[in-house]
Amino acid sequence: MVKSSLIQYPLIVLLSGLLVVPKAYAKGTEMFVCTGADGVRTYQNSDGGDGCVPLNLNPITVVPAPRSASKSGGISDPVSAGGSGRRATAAYDNRSAADFNAKDDRMKILQEELRIEESKLKSLQDEYKKGQPDRLGSEKNYQKYLDRVSRLEQEIMVTNDNIEILKTELIRLSK
């Protein structure tokens, strides 16, 4: 009878300790986004009053690096988290327009990327000169010239594909 009470007491203490620990770690993890009178957003860990909205953040999970990578001093390849990217995107999509107006932010980012891709395409086409680019001084070997021409063709195709994808995404967001 004495042995069972000694075993139960540490078990109860351990379980009650586990219930208290998450609350202690959760303290201070609340974040607020505050929009000033000039429209500038600031992120704070305390409520600043008017114009501050609490962020709905998912808890952060920290996984230590494997011991073999730390002993060798090298950096191991990142391992796929198995869908965590989809969960993060879903959490971002669930935010209301009052929180961030994310749709406008995404459209601005996509428009900037589209502008960059279009300028890249223009410079590639200028260099490509409809399949007859100028030979560079380092291309005394004709095969080097042909390699550069095929690289330019491939870069132009990839850039065109990127532009089409960005335009499609902008059309999807504008609806």
Residue 165 lies in a domain: yes
Domain count, the chain: 2
Please report whether residue 167 resides in a domain: yes
Q: Examine the domain organization and report whether 108 and 44 are in the same domain.
A: no
DSSP 13-51: HHHHHHHHHHHHHHTT---EEEE-TTS-EEEESS--STT
Is the domain of 46 the same as that of 114?
Answer: no
Q: What is the pLDDT along the chain (175 residues), one digit of tens a residue?
A: 455 554 555 555 555 555 544 544 445 567 888 888 888 888 888 877 788 888 777 777 888 888 864 444 544 444 444 445 455 555 555 555 444 577 778 888 999 999 999 999 999 999 999 888 888 888 889 999 999 999 999 999 999 999 999 999 999 988 7
Q: 50 is in which domain, residue-wise? A: 28-62
- Rounded-to-integer distance, Cα 32 and Cα 47, Å: 6
Euclidean distance between CA atoms 167 and 72, whole angstroms: 46
Q: Are 124 and 155 in contact (CB under 8 A)?
A: yes
**Residue 40 domain-assigned?**
yes
Does any domain span residue 108? Answer: yes
